[in-house]
Structure 1
Amino acid sequence: MEVLNDVKLGTLQKGHIFYPFQQEEAYIRNLMLFIRAGLENNQHMLIVESMRNITKVKHRMNRLYTEEQLSSISLVDNFDYYFLNGDFNTQHILNAFQKDLSVIRKLNSSIRTWGHVEWISKEPDANLIKEFESIADDYVLQEGMLSICAYPSHSLSSTLTETLEMVHQYVLTDEDLRLSMTYRR
């Protein structure tokens, strides 16, 4: 992982990160790095993951971590966030996110989140996603937390990629982390 102003993904403590991932193995590796760093920093984690990856992630976590460490990781199916109330219902997503975080906040005031974002439609509404991510950006900055929004790169148009870079402070790729050049607060 390349250095960003002397900060690696494993040591970054706060910020809103857009991750357009390409390779599944690199994606899982970065997620595991994120989890390890959270455990090292005594943080609780909310991981919103796709059903097809949950088994892999659980298997790796069970091999690497103790029961006590695993109790700091909340792993939830992203279907409940992004599909349950229709395709990418912004208000439902935000309500689910805030509900899960309020439960976690009772356990630990220091939290980091990872969301594997998906949708049903062929081409998502860029304005809807921009609105959602802008609200999420405000929340992440207000709470002083670290939050990664991972999107499969093959599902992103160039317009949507540009839009997402505008509402995230950082951009993570499978190989490096950089400041977003178009971020607008």
Structure 2
Amino acid sequence: MPRGDFRINSIFEFLPNLIEGYSENINVRSWAHVEWRDEPEVSKKLMGSEKEADVIVNETNLLSVCAYDSERVSGEFKEGLLSCHNFFINEKENGV
């Protein structure tokens, strides 16, 4: 794996084990600030990780927030994110 890769698979291997047992008794929330380097097809990799995360979130009733730098998100990638997330918050539009 190239150095600096955001290691998508490690997240999906770690997260279910981390919340196993907890999600049955309490509400579990997660927050992720997603960083990536410029590389070919990075949006495709990120969208794949979002779809895989969506499966885990739905299976575990996890409340999850993913934060992206809006200046680095292409219009196409933003549309993809909106297709698999229930909410979109933009700090500039919301006065945050």
Q: Structures share a fold, TM > 0.5?
A: yes
| SS of corresponding position for 2:88 | strand
- Unaligned 5+ residue runs, structure 2? none
Q: Percent identity?
A: 28
1:137 to 2:44 alignment:
no
TM-score using structure 1 length? 0.42
Post-superposition offset of 1:124:
5.4
CA RMSD of aligned residues (A): 2.7
Q: Of the two structures, which has the highest relative contact order with CA contacts closer than 8 Å and spacing of 6 or more? A: 1
C-alpha distance in 2, partners of 1:162/1:123?
19
1:126 to 2:40 alignment:
no
TM-score using structure 2 length? 0.73
> Are the structure 2 counterparts of residues 123 and 167 from structure 1 closer, same or farther at C-alpha, using a change threshold of 3 Å?
farther
Corresponding residue for residue 180 of structure 1 = none
CA contact (8 A) 2:16 2:56 kept: no
Larger radius of gyration: 1
**1:169 corresponds to which letter in structure 2?**
N
Q: Deviations over 1:35-59 (max 9, x none)?
A: xxxxxxxxxxxxxxxxxxxxxxxxx
Aligned residues, how many?
Answer: 91
| SS of corresponding position for 1:105 | coil
- Unaligned 5+ residue runs, structure 1? 1-83, 177-185
C-alpha distance in 1, partners of 2:3/2:13?
11
Q: Deviations over 1:23-78 (max 9, x none)?
A: xxxxxxxxxxxxxxxxxxxxxxxxxxxxxxxxxxxxxxxxxxxxxxxxxxxxxxxx
Greater strand proportion:
1
CA contact (8 A) 2:30 2:65 kept: yes
Moved over 6 A (4+): none
Corresponding residue for residue 6 of structure 2 = 88
Once the two structures are overlaid, the 10-residue window that deviates more, 143-152 or 86-95, is 86-95
CA contact (8 A) 2:22 2:28 kept: yes
Once the two structures are overlaid, the 10-residue window that deviates more, 114-123 or 158-167, is 114-123
